[in-house]
Amino acid sequence: MPSATDDLIQRLYESPPDGFVAARTAAIEQARKAGDKETAKRLAALKKPTVAAWVVNLLALRKPELIEELVELSGALREAQRGLDGTALRELTNQRRQVVSALVTAAGKLARTEEPSAKLPLGEVEATLTAALAEPEIAAQVRTGRLIRAATYAGFGEVPRPRLRLVTDDTDVDDSEVDEDEEPDEDGGEVVEFPQQSARERAAAERRKREWEQRRRELLRELTNAQSAEKRADTQLEKAEVAERDAGHVVEDLDAELAELERKRTEAQADVARRKQARRLAEREAAAARRQVGDVQAALEDLESDEPECQSDRPTRRP
């Protein structure tokens, strides 16, 4: 069962790296005040993780079952590579890319939940998970959830290189093993050698040997070039996949911004409609008020025209 210190360390590596040093310092100070020198020493040895390492740690600590799937796939890949099972290896390689891509996406979501504004180096996260697939030691480190930096791997897996052998009509030829034409002489069985024929055989053997060595050198050069091309292609593929994923994140962010803008546009349109309705109501009320003013003025004029004449009460009008 994890101790209180283990739980504290896990919280440190789960939290965004920006606050790691301050949180570690506070924890060390608290342990010293409590007289727990061993815990203080253990905490002081902890190192701040990079952002990429933190994202991987978050995945390992929050979703350990996903890391276990990665480890199982790693074992299957190594088994297929040892057995040189091309069909299984191709299928597992495609599965590897899908699994790594899914893990990177899951890790990104976890990290954005903890730190929405953080700029995530998902390329380094992908490289670390790919390295964990290839190297059991790296996978073990990932499992701990305490990585301090991203990991990389130049190749992939334990691919045993087959020993190349150039198959010819003859095996290695030794002068002592060259068959020479022999014939019995007339007197009964004595072997007569034909040096001229033996020289041709030796020359042919030397020629075949030189051709074999030359072909072997050519194949070795081709193998070296092919291995270099393979590494370059893998690197380009990884970069392309990272670029594709980053572009996908940009699209997701833009989609979110567009959705927010659309929401604001809808609210603005509704506000315009409300204000238009209020304006029309105000126009009707103003028109009604003007009519009422006209009616009152007309009534007043009619009243004044019907006013009874009374000299004593009529005021004197001045021009």
What is the pLDDT at residue 133? 83
Domain that holds residue 82: 4-144
Decide if 107 is inside a domain. yes
Q: How many domains does the chain have?
A: 1
Q: Which of 96, 99, 109, 132 is nearest to 55 (CA)?
A: 109
Q: Cα 228 from chain centroid? A: 24
**Phi and psi (nearest 5°) for 92?**
-70, -35
**∠ CA(20), CA(21), CA(26), 5° rounding?**
100
Is residue 114 situated within a structural domain?
yes
Report yes or no on 173 lying in a domain.
no
**181 in a structural domain:** no
pLDDT of residue 193: 42
Is the separation of the CB atoms in 165 and 185 below 8 Å?
Answer: no
CA distance 261 to 252: 14
Rounded CA separation 181/176 (Å): 14
Question: Is 59 inside a domain boundary?
Answer: yes
What is the per-residue pLDDT for 48? 92
Residue 299 lies inside a defined structural domain of this protein: no
Whether residue 122 is contained in a domain is answered as: yes
Distance CA 175, CA 202 (A): 7
pLDDT of residue 253: 63
In a domain, 215, yes or no: no
In whole angstroms, give the CA distance from residue 135 to residue 81: 13
86, two tokens:
């091309």
Q: Name the residue type at position 281.
A: L
Tokens at 115, concatenated = 């730190």
Chunked in runs of 10, what are the mean pLDDT values of the chain (319 residues)? Answer: 84 92 93 93 92 94 89 76 66 78 92 88 92 87 91 54 34 39 40 54 85 89 86 79 67 70 84 91 91 89 76 51
By the 10 Å C-beta count (0-12 exposed, 13-18 middle, 19+ buried), 212 is classed as middle
